[in-house]
Amino acid sequence: MRSQALDLLRFPLAVVVLAVHVFSSDGIIIQGETSGWADYPIFAEFNCFIDGFLRKQSVPIYYFISGYVFFLGVEMTRTTYLRKFKNRMHSLFFPYLIWNTLAVLLLALTLNSPFSQYTAYASRFTFSLPSFLSCYWAYDGGLAGLELEQLFPLDVPLWFLRNLMIIVLCTPLLHFVLKRTKHYAVLALGVLWLLEPLYSAYLALDRMYFLTAFFFFSFGAYMSINRRDMLVEFGRLSKLSVVSYVLLGAGYVLSQHYFPAAAPMLKQMNILAGLLFAYNLAAWLLKRGICKVNPFLASASFFIYVSHSLIASKILKLLFVAFRPANDWALLAVHLLVVILVVGFLLGIFYLMERYTPRLLKVVAGRK
């Protein structure tokens, strides 16, 4: 049940990431002009709901799962570390290089084609080695003739893999610390992460989300190293997790309108409550027999996560231009259609690759 609950979460978490990226609160930029949501109050409120209950929820849970799985059921010897590092080369490093390189190629193709009119800025592809290399850490915008203060690789969702690879390199030290400090190291990281909105103006400690990564990975690692049963530990807080997740999410939405200064802190607390809520919900669905783990969807989740940003924004812009939604409901329908189309398309590609090119899929999806 414990591992099944984690597996059940993988696919919906990937779809949540996709939905969050499609339902952007910033509007759509085409040729430097932003189509905002000021004239669409219902859609703007729906975006607030997305922000309050879904945005920033998935990746912390992924980090928690990664930390838990990394140390699960093994004695951490030198041989074990070397084996795990080798496995992570296949599951993290190679997909990271491949998908960011595909993002560069797609950017070049888009900017030098008739579809360039649908890009954020009407510019041509301009190659420079520093900008090319920045695509694999924090993209500077130079390939599109822009100047960006970007914190993410060109394939934006891969910041999760970037940070996770750094953590994996630190796992021997992390294991040493967690074994000797028990929950105190996790608690210290948690306090630093939770209070980050209060001191971020003076010390940008989590500017590239490494603090988020280390805290949630360490949390999962601590549970695994100390053989803590999540069904029991999280189950004790099941009712509290539901109430706190709902109230904090609603509080965040309301604070955006009436007390914006409180919003970041409420969001931090909601992210933590969301971890407990998501796991308890998955365990409850499995226990009641309402849901079962679908191996195909679970295995396709990573593929959807790493690839969706390459096509989702482009499909959204094309549908936006094609349909020119004139009211809230039409705009909402366009965005929901994009989510459905992208999920369906990527699942179809994954199925075809699994059937006809399994070796290639093994490489691009980081499968063993």
pLDDT (0 to 100) of residue 157:
96
pLDDT, tens only, 188-217: 999 999 999 999 888 888 889 999 999 999
Does the pTM of the predicted model rise above 0.85? yes
Q: Which residues of 142-156 are buried (b: 16+ CB within 10 A; e: fewer)?
A: bbbeeeeebebbbbb
pLDDT at 322: 87
Amino acid at 197: P
Full pLDDT tens readout for the chain, 368 residues: 667 888 999 999 999 999 999 998 776 665 556 666 777 889 888 999 999 999 999 999 999 999 999 998 878 888 999 999 999 999 999 999 999 999 999 998 888 876 665 565 556 788 899 999 999 999 998 888 788 877 999 999 999 999 999 999 999 999 999 999 989 999 999 999 999 999 988 888 888 999 999 999 999 999 999 988 888 889 999 999 999 999 999 999 999 889 999 999 999 999 999 999 999 999 999 999 999 999 999 999 999 999 999 999 889 988 988 888 888 899 999 999 999 999 999 999 999 999 999 999 999 998 76
Quote the mean pLDDT of the chain: 91
